[in-house]
Amino acid sequence: MKRIGVAFLIQIACCLAVASEPMKTADVTMILQNHDRPFVSKEFAGRLASLVLEEKYPEEFFVASGKPDVIDLGECWSVTLENSVPLDKGSPLPTSNGVLVPKQLTVVIRKFNGEIVAIK
């Protein structure tokens, strides 16, 4: 539980550190897109994170399974997806074909413009 709390705080700090940047360089069309609600909705964030991980990681390393877990961090969405790559039996570490693989990955997405802030 303590490990989850630290990761959550790091994600929040990451978003807060760059929270004001989008407005400085935003085109008027993006400002209008965010008038009554964020450009990136909760559902859009889940789909975008899935697409990013599918594009950036080979199937031998990461295949998303299940529904994305989307958490509102204020300026950003934190989207976590579980890995369904089969793990090697008997290995003390999460490996697949001898290669260390993540059990899950989290994509942090800025609500204002869809910027990928972090992948962890």
Give the tens place of pLDDT for each residue, 51-68. 999 999 999 999 999 999
**pLDDT-derived band of residue 90, with 50, 70 and 90 as boundaries?**
very high
Q: 101: closest CA among 82, 85, 78?
A: 85
Q: Which residues contact 69 (CB under 8 A, 6 or more apart)?
A: 79, 80, 81
Q: Which residues contact 98 (CB under 8 A, 6 or more apart)?
A: 88
Please give the pLDDT value at position 109.
Answer: 98
**pLDDT-derived band of residue 34, with 50, 70 and 90 as boundaries?**
confident
Q: Is the pTM of this model over 0.85?
A: no
Q: Fill in the DSSP letter of residue 57.
A: S
Average pLDDT in the chain: 86
Bridge partners (DSSP) listed for residue 117 = none
